[in-house]
Amino acid sequence: MNLDSPIKSIKGIGPKTEQLFAAAGVYTVGDILLYFPRDYERYPEICGVDGIVEDRKNAIFVRTQRAPSLNARSRMQTAVLDVAGEEKKMRILWFRSPYIRSVVKPQESYVFVGKVTRKQDIYYMEQPEVMSLEKYREIQKTLQPVYPLTKGLTNNLVRKTVMTAIREQDLEMEYLPEDVRARNHLSEYNFALANIHMPADEQSCIAARNRFVFDEFFFFILAMQMTKDSSAVLPNRWRLGSMDFVHSLTEKLPYRLTDAQERTLKQVLEDLRSDTLMQRLIQGDVGSGKTIIAFLAMLDCASSGYQSAMMAPTDVLARQHYQKMKKLCEDFDLHFPVVLLTGSLGARERREAYERIAREPAALIIGTHALIQEKVNYRDLALVITDEQHRFGVKQRESFFFKGGQPHIMVMSATPIPRTLAIILYGDLDISVIDEVPAQRKAIKNCVVDTSSRQAAYRFMEKQIRQGHQVYIICPLVEASEHAEGENVLEYSERLREIFPADIVIGCLHGKMKPEEKNRVMEDFLDNRIQILVSTTVVEVGVDVPNATAIMIENAERYGLAQLHQLRGRVGRSDHQSYCILMQGKEQKTKNRRLEILNSSNDGFYIAGEDLKLRGPGDFFGIRQSGDFQFRLADIYQDADLLSRASYEVSVLMKEDPKLAGKEHQALKNRLKSLSGSGYSLLNL
């Protein structure tokens, strides 16, 4: 069995289980080995029945009086065990598990582990793990992996499959040069693989994670550097006319561009007319006015008879850009064709879009990933703009690069990253920073509260809605989970429907919904058919709803500063006063330093710098804090030191062997080529 073997080659994986893993994007042995835990948990301290705490995982030590009884009338063959302390009573249930009667015997001692709920005076524990006291004491010393799950997958199934794969597959050959590992104190690959999934102790877990984080950064930067070296000197074959056309458009805008926008626009216009192709990152805080710079650059190309394309991360955002570009052309009395292409278009609409793209030389094309489909044939595509770069990556830029006949590349990101990190992460791009917000925007008013203020927050939200505005509420979870504490979207939205009047429509949005469902909900919110949107962080990048004036983030202490700032950026997108309520969870007794920083500033670049200072090496047990670049494990703030180390090692390697031609780098070269779906094919290795 090797890394490319299908997952069904692992013992115990049948056709049904294979389908469950496929839904989670796991198809091969290599995929399951890199299906990293999203968190780790320790088993709780042992208590008696009187010591149990509801809505939390408990480990209860019990000496049984009798074996579980079987409820014969239950269709699920429910086994029931009633236990009692001096003050509390608890009922333990096992569904479809009649065999449990042969496991749990009378007059024996056991530790039952599971989440406890309460109904009236009786506590319940369903489907608990059953262990001897000795076994529990041993397992208490370990860190237990908690995996990301999709419907049908259980944590135990993933854990068992991973461990079987580790045992059965051949050891992987180490690919990092020994001197690189030694300089950076990195563990050997096979040790890291075993200990990222089932760490022997906390130090082994840290060592394993550091190795994989370093690898992610190393290969990301290596690919970027090799891409830059291969494309930095490509000649610019596009011949644009005078800049006067764009300058005349800026005079017609209903507002004045900020100095930062003027500076960035000048750099873009000069790039479009330079001897080599533009590869530029436009980095600007939420609401800083990046989109108008992109639109003006597209109009610049159109005025010279060339096409341009902007790719957005969601259907809804692409449609918004499309509508805004059409209105801009109408306001400027311009007659350039504006074309929309997204995956949600009907067959006839898609066909018409393909035809227009193929024949209209000055088309302004806006869409989603559909823009890089094989059926799309561009005609003189001079400029490609990707919105929210970390949602795309190198591969999409490569697809545009070859489909469009080597266009200019502009990347826009609303994630404020300290310049030192941005230079590393966007090593193949020149960087422009828009560090001002338009004068007409009012600063968002922030407050940090605990759960005792929730009812007051609801009253404030209703007041905003009665004034004609809309509200976001962000929850960390989609549904209730025994592995994570926090508010969840499904139960929360149901609760709100009982609290708010019936004429206030409450919508629900999360990442497990189908794309068409998400689009429908967001469009309903955009059109004010939904007044309160309860969502996970899926709205972090998605749509511009100027009418939304308040956002409440539940369990705000769970997020990193960068992500909180991105979420807050969903409001404050008009001249209306906007508000952000940061709700600390009920377990938080002291003020959270991150939340206080966010409370005191709306400056994304200041916040990014403070986030960098706050992160520590022991901070990684839990949800990865920043969503940038879609690394599996790495966090650009928390792991800034490893990012810098990886960058240094790549620079050394590029000086020694820029083509990885040496025999000593063969394993490294093979590893780079094997990384599927990461866009590294551009490197022509």
Closest CA to 236 of 300, 201, 279: 279
Closest CA to 554 of 527, 583, 525: 583
Give the Cα separation of 629 and 281 in Å (integer).
Answer: 14
Give the Cα separation of 659 and 226 in Å (integer).
Answer: 8
C-alpha triplet 596, 597, 600: angle, nearest 5°: 85
Q: Confidence class of residue 186 from pLDDT cuts 50, 70 and 90?
A: very high
**Percentage of the chain with pLDDT > 90?**
53
Listed range (80-84, 518-522, 561-565) with the worst mean pLDDT: 561-565
pLDDT at 513 over 90: no
Closest CA to 321 of 347, 295, 297: 295
Number of alpha carbons in the 13 Å side-chain half-sphere of residue 233: 3
pLDDT at 402 over 70: no
| pLDDT number for residue 685 | 38
Q: Which 8-state DSSP code applies to residue 622?
A: S
**Span 419-442, average pLDDT:** 78
pLDDT in tens, 171-184: 778 999 999 999 99
pLDDT at 684 over 50: no
Q: Confidence class of residue 612 from pLDDT cuts 50, 70 and 90?
A: low
**Span 252-270, average pLDDT:** 94
Give the Cα separation of 11 and 176 in Å (integer).
Answer: 30
| Predicted structure pTM score | 0.69
**Percentage of the chain with pLDDT > 70?**
89
C-alpha triplet 150, 155, 158: angle, nearest 5°: 85
pLDDT in tens, 145-157: 999 888 889 998 9
Q: Confidence class of residue 508 from pLDDT cuts 50, 70 and 90?
A: very high
Could you tell me if 633 and 624 are in contact, meaning their C-beta atoms sit under 8 angstroms apart? yes
Which residue stretches of 184-258 are H helix? Answer: 189-197, 202-231, 244-252
Q: Confidence class of residue 401 from pLDDT cuts 50, 70 and 90?
A: low
Give the Cα separation of 612 and 620 in Å (integer).
Answer: 14
| pLDDT number for residue 435 | 82
pLDDT at 481 over 70: no
Q: How many CB atoms lie within 10 A of CB 129?
A: 15
Give the Cα separation of 21 and 584 in Å (integer).
Answer: 35
Which residues contact residue 239 at a Cβ distance below 8 angstroms, ignoring those fewer than 6 apart?
Answer: 304
Number of alpha carbons in the 13 Å side-chain half-sphere of residue 320: 19
Give the Cα separation of 83 and 71 in Å (integer).
Answer: 16
Could you tell me if 583 and 556 are in contact, meaning their C-beta atoms sit under 8 angstroms apart? yes
Give the Cα separation of 329 and 344 in Å (integer).
Answer: 24
pLDDT in tens, 192-202: 999 999 998 88
Closest CA to 328 of 299, 362, 307, 300: 299
Could you tell me if 415 and 628 are in contact, meaning their C-beta atoms sit under 8 angstroms apart? yes
Beta bridge partners of 146: 39
**Segment of 222-226, 300-304, 442-446, 483-487 carrying the highest mean pLDDT:** 300-304
**Span 379-388, average pLDDT:** 87
| pLDDT number for residue 544 | 82
pLDDT at 683 over 80: no
| pLDDT number for residue 287 | 79
| pLDDT number for residue 427 | 72
> What are the structure tokens assigned to 546, written together?
């100027």
C-alpha triplet 201, 205, 209: angle, nearest 5°: 175
Give the Cα separation of 304 and 245 in Å (integer).
Answer: 10
| pLDDT number for residue 126 | 93
Give the Cα separation of 341 and 319 in Å (integer).
Answer: 9
| pLDDT number for residue 519 | 84
| pLDDT number for residue 680 | 39
Listed range (7-21, 270-284, 328-342, 470-484) with the worst mean pLDDT: 470-484
What letter represents residue 429's amino acid? L
SS3 167: helix
| pLDDT number for residue 483 | 59
| pLDDT number for residue 506 | 97
> What are the structure tokens assigned to 410, written together?
């502009």
**Span 12-24, average pLDDT:** 92
Could you tell me if 608 and 562 are in contact, meaning their C-beta atoms sit under 8 angstroms apart? yes
Cα separations (Å) of 178 from 171, 186, 408, 591, 668? Answer: 17, 9, 39, 45, 11
Give the largest CA-CA distance in the chain. 91
